[in-house]
Structure 1
Amino acid sequence: MGWRSSDSAPSAHGRFWLGAACALAGATLWGFSGACIQFLVEGYAVSSAFISFTRAATAAVLFLALVLATRREALLSLLGSRAARRTLVLFGVGLYLSQITYAISIEMTNAGTATVLQATCTVFVMLFTCLRAHRLPRPADFAGLVAALAAAALIATQGDWGVIVLPAAGLAWGIANALSETLYIMAPQRLYGRWDRVTIIGVGMLVSGVAAAIVWLAAAAAAAVPAAGAAAPIDASPAAAAQAAAASSFSASGAAPLVPALDAVGWLALIGGVGMLGTFAAFGLFLYGVSLVGSVKGSLLGVAEPVGAMVIAAVWLGTPFSAADWGGLVLMAAMIALVSLSGSREKR
């Protein structure tokens, strides 16, 4: 038998609101991590591969320490199931792929386009969920989907649709990013009823950290070898583009390709802002929320990330709200209201 979750069991109505709050808090912290990453890239020229490794490793260490200290029996039970191990590998790989494909999607297009493509994960989650349940989307969920996509697009593009850039490679990486997010949202759903949520998330983060370390070290080794022949064409395959992007991110770090030269502020932004708050707390809160409200509503609430980034940029960097920001904020509030209405009706 699986290890039953020891989490507190509030009422069904309370569980939904707790899950919604956690998912929104996680999405907001993702927005905070985005501001920290921008600060590190612009101020210290830190490579995306090193940032991805550090954030995954930090979260994996913190989750593993928490699980070993409080849920050791649950961990042994979870790892003792062969079917659970396969699901955990998919979950962890999806966690890592969602980060690295987003970075490559930005390099292939731009931040606004990548954010809009990333938000399409809600479409895939809803589609796969409805196909598995043999039903159509609920009207409130579908309306929430439209509002979420419109809000993300409005905030990311600031109402200027001319900034959307969709070359073939950029579109492919953007869709890959959306599918990888769909994978890590949906893969562990069947495990949540049998094992402790924190333990499941912790093992997934460990798998993600191992994958990030392998890619980081492989890219560092590839960057250390002088390139032979001409540069790859612009329309190279996605696999070649990923290898080139990873290698170039290391070559840009100069004399110290493995560990960049950071001062105390840089390490605080990387470990504290990106690793602890933007990954450990963000993914923990978001995935815990998804386990309570379900994959469809959780993915919709996760689209609130651009709102979090917008608010944090205004508070931290003094960036003023634009008309597009306010419009996106209203649409995002409408999405949250629709999801809440749908969730409350289901629980009743």
Structure 2
Amino acid sequence: MQNQAGKGIAMVLIAASLWGVSGTFSQFLFQQQHISVEWLMSVRMLVSGIALVAISGLRKNADTLAPWKDKRDALRLLSFGILGMLTVQYTYFAAIKHSNAATATILQFTSPIMIAVYLAVKFRKPLRPLNLVAIAVAMLGTFLLVTHGKPGELAISGTALAWGIASAASLAMYTIQPESLLKRYHETTIIGWGLLIGGIGISLVRAPWHTDGLWDAHTYAYTAFVVLFGTLIPFYAYLTGVKHIGGQKASLLTSAEPLSAAVLSVSWLGVPFLVMDYIGAGLIISTVFLLAMEREVVAEPPGV
């Protein structure tokens, strides 16, 4: 039993770390190699979506095609692929392009606060004291991260802040939206189809065979990493880890994602991270632990 739990923890930590590294590599591709967000999204989502759907089909008692046999579930799956998966991927990558991977990932971590507020409104329940503390901590952390403690001055562009907040809101939607589907079908099936649907959708904007930007050995290597080690492998590793330790523990361990993104952004790309940035990041990440203490945290699907 302990071996299974240890395996689950290791798998989730690997997945979260790879997502963080992938975000930093994506920043390099966007800002230095001038690869478009839409092109990288289409390749990333199509390849990973096809692979996960294929993996789903190879499972014993596979339910790969089952969602399409129910009209309501088919519509839910289409909605998740476009409004959930595609939207959260695009807003996150756009936030990276206009700021950096560390800032974009940390801002996205304010999504649990949005989920807590949404659930309170939906079920007409007042926010608990711990929820209110978490909201205050998140707001203070965000304030320090985007202003460095100086009211009226933004440390990042208004565009980057807008995409970061949009990314958090999209992640909240992405977390809540497929809840009914995940209760009825295997996670690999839903996530695989969601990626594939989103990939097809963004391909209408930028087809994967219409490349752009500067192509050299670094571009090929980092693109391959984002597709394989930043999408396919961590998604599968995360799903495997959740089976062993559960969604609540897994959601806490995903805090390794902004940490790995911050370390690599600062050490490799030379992104300036000041004391206020670290304090703000720490406060935002801590809200995940505060909300987990309520024991009513929504177990979110794999990260981006």
TM-score (norm 1): 0.65
Q: Counterparts of 1:64-83 in structure 2 under 5 Å?
A: 64-70=53-59, 73-83=62-72
- Report the CA distance shift for 1:105/1:42 in structure 2 as closer, same or farther (over 3 A): closer
Counterpart code for 2:112: T
- Report the CA distance shift for 1:106/1:198 in structure 2 as closer, same or farther (over 3 A): closer
TM-score (norm 2): 0.73
Q: How far 1:259 sits from its partner (Å)?
A: 5.0
Q: How far 1:74 sits from its partner (Å)?
A: 1.1
Distance of 1:279 and 1:27 partners within structure 2: 11
Match of 1:323 in 2: 275
- Report the CA distance shift for 1:144/1:28 in structure 2 as closer, same or farther (over 3 A): farther
Q: How far 1:154 sits from its partner (Å)?
A: 3.7
Counterpart code for 2:294: S
Match of 1:279 in 2: 231
Residue among 23, 33, 51 paired with 1:34: 23
The answer to whether residue 257 in structure 2 is matched with residue 267 in structure 1 is no
Structure with max Cα Rg: 1
- The percentage of aligned residue pairs carrying the same residue is 28
Counterpart code for 1:186: I
Q: How far 1:96 sits from its partner (Å)?
A: 1.0
| Structure 1 runs not aligned, ≥5 long | 1-9, 221-255
Counterpart code for 1:87: R
Contact 1:91 1:183 in 2 (8 A): no
Distance of 1:19 and 1:197 partners within structure 2: 18
Distance of 1:180 and 1:120 partners within structure 2: 11
Deviations 1:156-182 (A, max 9, x none): 555556225676x87765554443222
Distance of 2:47 and 2:186 partners within structure 1: 21
SS at 2:51 equivalent = helix
Counterpart code for 1:307: L
Distance of 1:281 and 1:141 partners within structure 2: 34
Match of 2:265 in 1: 313
Q: How far 1:204 sits from its partner (Å)?
A: 1.0
Q: How far 1:83 sits from its partner (Å)?
A: 1.7
SS at 2:112 equivalent = helix
Match of 1:130 in 2: 120
Distance of 2:15 and 2:147 partners within structure 1: 23
The count of aligned residue pairs is 290
Contact 1:148 1:303 in 2 (8 A): no
Q: How far 1:133 sits from its partner (Å)?
A: 3.0
Match of 2:301 in 1: none
Q: CA RMSD in A?
A: 4.3
Distance of 1:115 and 1:90 partners within structure 2: 24
Counterpart code for 1:77: A
The answer to whether residue 39 in structure 2 is matched with residue 50 in structure 1 is yes
Distance of 1:267 and 1:148 partners within structure 2: 37
Deviations 1:9-64 (A, max 9, x none): x89xx7xx969983x66554332122101222344221222112122123213212
- Report the CA distance shift for 1:286/1:81 in structure 2 as closer, same or farther (over 3 A): same
More deviation, 115-124/189-198 = 115-124
Q: Counterparts of 1:292-303 in structure 2 under 5 Å?
A: 292-293=246-247, 298=251
Residue among 290, 297, 302 paired with 1:338: 290
Residue among 135, 144, 163 paired with 2:154: 163
Contact 1:90 1:184 in 2 (8 A): no
- Report the CA distance shift for 1:158/1:184 in structure 2 as closer, same or farther (over 3 A): same
Q: Counterparts of 1:10-159 in structure 2 under 5 Å?
A: 22=12, 26-70=15-59, 73-93=62-82, 94-104=84-94, 110-111=99-100, 118-155=108-145, 158-159=148-149
Match of 1:183 in 2: 173
- Report the CA distance shift for 1:216/1:288 in structure 2 as closer, same or farther (over 3 A): farther
Distance of 1:149 and 1:29 partners within structure 2: 27
Q: How far 1:287 sits from its partner (Å)?
A: 7.3
The answer to whether residue 194 in structure 2 is matched with residue 204 in structure 1 is yes
Distance of 2:91 and 2:191 partners within structure 1: 20
Distance of 2:37 and 2:54 partners within structure 1: 26
- Report the CA distance shift for 1:21/1:150 in structure 2 as closer, same or farther (over 3 A): farther
